[in-house]
Structure 1
């Protein structure tokens, strides 16, 4: 199973190129190859999906009823500006200027692996969206995971 995780400090080069950390690149699903899709996040960040993951999300959003105004609005905003990219052999790709502006990215970025996707943040904005209170984090963990059985490893 491939999963994307970790938090990495990276820099854009003068041409606006970003290199994915080696651990992230190594965990991209083989069936996606070096093909990824970059999109705007719901928060002020960018989201990078392996092509295979994006296909699943694309199918769900595209299948919404186009005759419903709210669905159309969601589709319009969700799909705008999506960019299909191919990583070079080092995991490098150009971060389009429109995407840089959306996420307020200049030179430094934080890359965060979130399982099936990667978020790309302006470091200062990222800090604003993190939970600072450990008790609040603990309460969220209980709310979302507290009733799930603990899976024991096979020994």
Structure 2
């Protein structure tokens, strides 16, 4: 169950040397993160995004699907390839986050590691709480809309 993807949410301590223990469930061959992860500032949220070989391959495929010189491709190349930091685990399963990445998303002390499928995110705890509340609101609204569409389709199909 959940093989090859990052699932669940963990609170972890970021120590004074910016070392962060990555959950053992996230360090697997199935998700390509058994030896380390790559990490960069998220494009969609105020956090760090991280993952293994599977995520890197997915981003690379998206980037390579755009024509060379396309401004979207250039922006993705800069954001993904240019900002990326490959991070290996130490003997205790920790990565050391670069200071500039910690500063960019205001990571200190307690952080939240949030599994979202092919990737995981590393959040400032307070920012994650606000993000989680907003995501739950959007999911609730989306589920209600989906239900309305299904009811409309069912009643339209019966007529």
- The TM-score normalised by the length of structure 1 is 0.78
When the two chains are superposed, the root-mean-square deviation of aligned CA atoms in Å is 2.7
Q: How far off its partner does 1:52 sit?
A: 3.0
Larger radius of gyration: 2
Query: Are the aligned partners of 2:50 and 2:119 in contact in 1 as well (CA < 8 Å)?
Result: yes
For 1:72, the equivalent position in structure 2 comes to: 74
2:26 and 2:146 map into 1 onto residues whose CA distance is: 26
Unaligned runs of 5+ in 1: 148-155
Of Structure 1 and Structure 2, which has the larger fraction of its residues in helix? 2
8 Å CA contact 1:16–1:94 kept in 2: the answer is yes
Q: Which runs of 4+ in 1 moved over 4 A?
A: 132-136, 142-147
Deviates more, 1:47-56 or 1:60-69: 60-69
- Structure 1's 143 and 29: CA in aligned 2 closer, same or farther, altered over 3 A? farther
Partner of 1:153: none
| Unpaired runs of at least 5, structure 2 | 151-159
Q: Secondary structure at the match of 2:107?
A: coil
Shift of 1:99: 0.8
CA distance in 2, matches of 1:5, 1:133: 16
For residues 132 and 31 of structure 2, the distance between their equivalents in structure 1, rounded to whole angstroms, comes to 31
> Given that residues 19 and 94 in structure 2 are in contact (C-alpha distance below 8 angstroms), is that contact kept between their aligned partners in structure 1?
yes
Closer, same or farther in 2 for the Cα pair 1:66/1:131, shift >3 Å?
A: same
Q: 2:154 aligns to what?
A: none
TM-score (norm 2): 0.76
Deviations 1:73-127 (A, max 9, x none): 3422333320112223432110111110111101210011112111100001111
Distance 1:73 1:58 in 2: 13
Displacement of 1:136 in angstroms is: 4.6
Which whole-Å CA distance do the structure 1 matches of 2:139 and 2:117 have between them? 18
Which residue does the alignment assign to 2:130?
Answer: 128
